Structure formats: structure tokens, C-alpha cells
Amino acid sequence: MKSRHMPAMHSANYRRFWRCLPWLAALLLLWTASSAFAQQEADPPGRVANLSYRQGGVVFAPAGDEEWTELPQNRPLTSGDRVWTDSGARAEVQLGAVTLHVGGESHLGVGTLDDRSAQFIMLQGSVNARVRELAQGENFEIDTPNLALRASQAGDYRIDVSADGRETRVVVLSGMATVFGQGGDALNLGAGQQATFAGRYLAQVQGAPFQGDAFGQWAGERNRAEDLSAAARHLPRGVVGYSQLDAYGTWGQDPTYGDVWYPQGVVADWAPYRYGQWTWVDPWGWTWVDDAPWGFAPFHYGRWAMIGPRWAWVPGRMVARPVYSPALVVFTGGGGQSRFTGWYPLGPGEAWWPTYRATQHYVNHANFNINLNAYPRHYENHVYRQRPGAVTTVRVEDFRQGRPVRSHWQPMQPGMTGQGQAGVVPPRPERRAQQVQSSMPRLQAAPPAGAQVPSSRFWGGGRVEPVPQRQFIPAQAQPRFIQQQTQQAQPRFIQQQEQPRPQWEQERAVREQALARYQQERLQREAEHNARVQQFDATRQRQQQDLVRQQREAVQRQQPQPLQGRQGGEPPPQQHQRVQPDARDGRGDGRGPRDDDERPGRARGWGRG
């Protein structure tokens, strides 16, 4: 038997459920966002940099290391790495759509490098940045001891940092950039403009005008050659190292794979991932470093295929910025008691499964246009797994110590890799074993000491930058502006040179000077605003008075006028006579009577009847 209270209870529970539904939805959304954020944090960066060209002595210090060593060719650069160029040396750092040209005696560090941000730290020397593409929401930034430059659009930007790090000159050859200071101030610079800054609060000083030099000419020639790259017609510019393919191979068209690239000058027993070495690079782990001058893009993007008697690189369909992979291979053996480990390249269409922790979103993006279900992790249906000419094997000891594979590899023999178990990755090497492979070459200028790249003191990474307070100055007004700023900063600068003081006192003096200048400008703007408001109020009050007077006169003209006086020929009262203006009118301007004299029954300008 149903109770008569059941409908009321159901109704109450129904209302209670709908009241709690928004809170449940908010909790679900928060849990989803936190899970997505945690997954994104677990994925390694999808972009790296590559030293695509060097001239003279160039050394680097990996992230966390204090020792400078020779930078191996095609070794990827990632967050925390530092590069030093010797006196007279030059280097080119390529990261897809952005290319950095570094001058001699320059200290360049990689701050943050991932899918959304590219932040470099220039502690000394000269750098020319060519930004060819800048996606929406992407951040490209170069920090110096004085400022942080952030590109607002594609263009060419030149930065020169003094040897002592006290001054930074910024030249915008094309495009537009925003310069940020530590005090929160910002300055926009347009194409053809330059400025020299001292301190960390955008204090402009008189600097030598920028003129073309040999380094700038060399950077311009390299940029023009990259603009005309033949590989850019077959690959997106987001592929790191694409321009290195032009001088070392030819492009062809295959009916099965589409665009393919054939390397030139390879030896008879050459195979992908055979002439180079393995090195451990965090956070990816084992990374292939090829010996060929073109050996970056073909070993970290795309697949390899044997077309006839030749190996060909098959880039396949790519997105604008494909995901970087440490090596597109499958390891065999190397586990348990096996003394050998081997690997073979992936063929076109075969899925690549990372050997490190990654989310499914990362795996899907890395295997763009590839069916993951057709190539699961057991690797049984790979084309080159059972081809001896494609499999390369070395001893586990040689592999872990990063010895050159070209002089230690052996053809695959039965039983060499145990049961041939695929997907077995050699363990991580000891840290000492990786540091003895290369030593620092003899340099004319010693690189600076220090272990790590300092973190950005400005607005790098995911931090929100302040709103720019000043716009860039027109070209015709810029010399005058710089001269005025120089006159204000010159006495302070001379005093700092004559009496050296602690760094914090100099920073405080520059900060107080900037704050005083800002307050003075603010007071001046407020005074000008108050004057404009008063003038506007006075003008509006006069207009209102004139409007009231015109309306009053119009009403008076529309009032009826009497035709005769009173009966019996009596003259009209005295108040009907014209009232002459006098002191009692309160006006004395001859424009008629006061308001209290204009009453019904009285007419202006009438005498006796």
C-alpha cells in the first residue's frame, strides 16, 4: 500500500537533486581539467632546437652540467642547455620556423622550449633571430640581463649584449616586438627602430647607431638561402633541420609513398641509424645522434623505406609542427643476460610507441595519419624486423657508453639478441660514462663559468606579462626621444662610473628615477584633464544660459497685446509703462525687465491708451 506522503517525498528529492546538479557539474569539470593538466605535464616537449651550422669553436654545457664540452653534430638542444661561441666563431640554431644566428664570444642558453613557447637567454654577445611564423598564442622570447624581448609578429630581430651585461641594444629590422623591464614597464618597437637600455627598468641610454656588419651580412645570406630552400616545398617549416637536406640529396616521387628524399654519398652497407651514436637526453632517454651533416630531420621525423636498392626517407603527411621523436626505431634484445642489443627503423605507416611515459594524446599526435590498431606494441608485423640489412646490433657495453656505432656494429646473426624480443630498451647509463666522450676544444676566449642557465627574471614561460604602457616612437621622433632620455640618465650614469656602488643600490636608483618620471607624467596628465573639464563645463553653462534666454523671449513674443486702456479714458496704470533698465532690474544691459516684472496683463513698450 502506497503512503499518501510518497509524492511529497519524491518531489522533495527531485528538487534536492536539481539543486545539487550545478555543484556536481563543477566538481566534474574541475576533475577533468586537473586530469588533463596532469597528463600534459607528463608529456615531454614536442619541439627541440638543432645546431645546424657552426664556424669556429663552439662548445656547450648540457642541462645541469658545469663542464663545457664539444657539441656533437645533430645533438638536440633542449631546456637548460647552454652554447658558447669562441672569438670569431659563428653558429646557427634552427628550431623549425625560427632560426637564430649567434656571433662570436656569445653565451646563449635555452630557457624554455616546448610546443607553445621558445625562450632563450642571451647573457653576452650578439644574436640575430629570424621568426618566419608565429602561431596564435605562441611565445618567442629572448631574455638578457637588462630586458626581455617578445616578438609580436614574424620578423627579424637583432640583440647585442655587452660583455659585462650592463647594456643591451635591440634593433627591429622587420616586424614588431615588445621590450619588457623588471619594473613592469614595457615598450613597443616597430620595424626600423632601435634602442639601447641600461639596468633592468628600461632606462634608455645613448648608444651607437646600428650599422650593418659582417655578422649581420652573414646572417642575412643564411636567411635568404633558407627562404629559397627546396625542402620547404615538400615539408612544413616546423620540421627542425629541413634546410640541411638541400645540399645532400634529391627529392623524388613514389607512387606508393608520395614525396621521398634520397641521400647522396652513402656507403654500400649504409642503413638508417647505423652511422652515429646513442646518447641519453632527458626527458626522452636514448636519443640517436647521426654523423651525417643532413642527419637530423630524417631520423626524428617520418619513416624510412627501401625503394629498389636504395634507402629513401618518407616524410609522409605531416602537420604544420610535427612532434619530435628521439629515434623512430624498435629495439630488440638487450635484456636479461643478452650481451647484444639491436634496432631497426620503422617503415612507412608503422606506429611508433615511445619508450618513456607519455599520454595517449601525445602518442596520437606523434603518429599523425597512422592507424595505431594496425601496429600494436608486439611489433610482429614490422617490415624490417627480419631483414638483416636493416637491423644493426652492438654490444650492450658499447651502446651504454655511447661509442660510435659505425666502428662497433655487427651484422645480425642467429641468437645474437637472444630470442629477439622486440621493445626491450637498454637501461639508462651511468652519468660519468657520457661525459668522457668529448672534451672541450682549444678556444681563444674561455667560456664563462656556471652550471645552469638562470631562470628568466621577466615574463617568460606561462606568466602573464604586463600591459605595455608606452608605444613605439615614430622614426622621426626617436632620436629626440633617445636624446631626452639620455640627458636624464647621463648624470646618474656618470655618477655610477665615478663611484661604483653595490648592484642593489644602482637598481633602486634607476627604479626611483623611473617612478618619479612616471608620477610627474601622471600629475601633468591629471592637470591637463582638469583644465579641459573646467573649460568644457564653462562652455556648456554659457550655452544653457543662452538657450534659456532665447526660450523666454520666444514666449514673450507669443503673449497677446491689449488694444485699449481702461473705461472712461483713464490712463493705464503706471506699471504698464515701459520700464527702463536701472539698478533695480538687476541687469542694466538694456535687454528688458526682470523676470518678476513680466507678469500677465502687462505689455512691454506701451504708453497711455
The three-state (H, E, C) secondary structure of 226-266, written as one string = HHCCCHHHCCCCCCCCHHHHCCCEEEEEECCCEEEEEECCC
Give 42-73 as a DSSP string.
HSPPS--EEEEEEES-EEEE-TT--S-EE--T
Q: What are the pLDDT digits (tens) for 560-592?
A: 665 554 444 455 555 444 444 444 444 444 444
Residue 111, classed as helix, strand or coil, is strand
Averaged pLDDT, 309-324: 95
Q: Which helix (H) or strand (E) holds 84?
A: strand 82-85
pLDDT at 561: 61
pLDDT-based confidence at residue 412 (cuts at 50, 70, 90): confident
Cα 305 to Cα 294: distance, rounded to the nearest angstrom: 17
Confirm if 76 and 47 have CB atoms less than 8 A apart: no
Averaged pLDDT, 463-472: 41
Q: Report which of residues 83 and 508 the model is more confident about.
A: 83
pLDDT at 381: 86
Q: Is the pLDDT of residue 16 over 90?
A: no
Q: Is the pLDDT of residue 606 over 80?
A: no
pLDDT at 387: 86
Q: Is the pLDDT of residue 442 over 70?
A: no
pLDDT at 503: 55
pLDDT at 551: 85
Averaged pLDDT, 477-486: 41
pLDDT at 541: 86
Task: Indicate the pTM of the whole model.
Answer: 0.69
CATH class of residue range 49-225+467-477: mainly beta
Cα of 345 vs its chain's centroid, Å:
34
Q: What are the pLDDT digits (tens) for 186-244?
A: 999 999 999 999 999 999 998 778 888 999 999 999 999 999 999 999 999 999 999 99
Mean model confidence pLDDT for the chain: 79
Averaged pLDDT, 484-502: 41
pLDDT at 178: 96
Averaged pLDDT, 432-452: 57
Q: Is the pLDDT of residue 172 over 70?
A: yes
Task: At 287, give phi and psi (nearest 5°).
Answer: -125, 135
Cα 534 to Cα 95: distance, rounded to the nearest angstrom: 58
Averaged pLDDT, 528-542: 84
Cα 361 to Cα 446: distance, rounded to the nearest angstrom: 45
Q: Is the pLDDT of residue 548 over 70?
A: yes
Region of poorest pLDDT, from 14-18, 251-255, 333-337, 445-449: 14-18
Q: Is the pLDDT of residue 367 over 90?
A: yes
pLDDT at 427: 80
pLDDT at 74: 96
Domain ranges across the chain: 15-44, 49-225+467-477, 229-435
pLDDT > 70: percent of the chain? 69
Confirm if 48 and 284 have CB atoms less than 8 A apart: no
Please write down the long-range contacts of 263-270, taking CB distance under 8 Å and 24 or more positions apart: 263/292, 263/294, 263/298, 263/311, 263/313, 266/311, 269/389, 270/311
